[in-house]
């Protein structure tokens, strides 16, 4: 159970569901830090001179990298009173958090990601062919499958089991504002 002045919110969800955008908005609104495990993973790859795809392949065979990140996640509540965290396993390693899972239709997710990459003029990064919506959809579905298999193998957990979360929200037909308002309402009710 969270202390009355403590609020920890963990996010997981499908790529393109809006979790990074919403986590950023929540952290700003609540004036608390935001941690993004995907960025830590990317930084670990870069430190080793590897692309994200190359590093993922290594991690598939060497669980020490996942365990390093997960130990960091598990230690956060001893270092921070309140925070927002995005990560595939944060709900598991911080069970006292308000656990939120965002779903989205895979095609809609791919369209959102494609649009975001176009706006940033960033298509084709990280050695993945992200030049079409179809390629992006295939890539995110494959990545989700690989991640799910890895976390089940490491910890015996199913990251996509909606029963692991306090709130599951399908963002397919919602605006960012609608998602944000729904989550803020839920957080206020949950943290009373």
Domain ranges (residues) in the chain: 8-102+164-190
Q: What residues contact 92, with CB distance under 8 A and at least 6 apart? A: 155, 157, 164
pLDDT in tens, 74-119: 999 999 999 999 998 999 999 999 999 999 999 999 899 888 888 7
Provide the token pair at 163. 């029963």
Provide the token pair at 188. 């206020």
The β-bridge relationship of strands 83-86 and 34-36 is: parallel
List the one residue out of 56, 151, 61, 38 whose CA is nearest residue 48: 56
pLDDT in tens, 13-59: 989 999 999 999 999 999 999 999 888 888 888 999 998 888 888 88
What does the angle CA 144 – CA 148 – CA 149 come to, to the nearest 5 degrees?
Answer: 120
Scanning the chain, the segments in alpha helix (DSSP H) are 19-30, 37-47, 52-61, 64-79, 90-93, 106-119, 133-155, 176-190
CATH topology of domain 8-102+164-190: Rossmann fold (3.40.50)
Instruction: Please state, in angstroms and rounded to a whole number, the distance separating the CA atoms of residues 146 and 123.
Output: 22
List the one residue out of 189, 169, 191 whose CA is nearest residue 18: 169
Mean pLDDT of 63-80: 89
């Amino acid at each position: 159970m969270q202390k009355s002045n403590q609020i920890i919110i963990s996010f997981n969800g499908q790529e393109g569901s809006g979790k990074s955008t919403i986590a950023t908005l929540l952290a700003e609104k609540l004036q608390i830090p935001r941690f993004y495990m995907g960025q830590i993973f990317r930084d670990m790859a870069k430190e080793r001179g590897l692309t994200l795809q190359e590093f993922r392949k290594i991690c598939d065979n060497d669980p020490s990298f996942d365990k390093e990140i997960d130990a960091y996640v598990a230690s956060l509540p001893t270092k921070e009173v309140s925070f927002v965290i995005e990560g595939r396993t944060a709900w598991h390693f911080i069970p006292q958090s308000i656990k939120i899972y965002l779903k989205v239709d895979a095609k809609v997710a791919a369209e959102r990601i494609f649009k975001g990459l176009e706006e940033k003029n960033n298509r084709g990064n990280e050695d993945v062919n992200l030049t079409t919506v179809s390629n992006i959809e295939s890539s995110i579905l494959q990545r989700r499958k690989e991640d799910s298999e890895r976390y089940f193998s490491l910890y015996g957990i199913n990251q996509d089991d909606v029963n692991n979360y306090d709130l599951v929200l399908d963002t397919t037909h919602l605006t960012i504002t609608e998602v944000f308002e729904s989550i803020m309402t839920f957080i206020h009710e949950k943290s009373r």
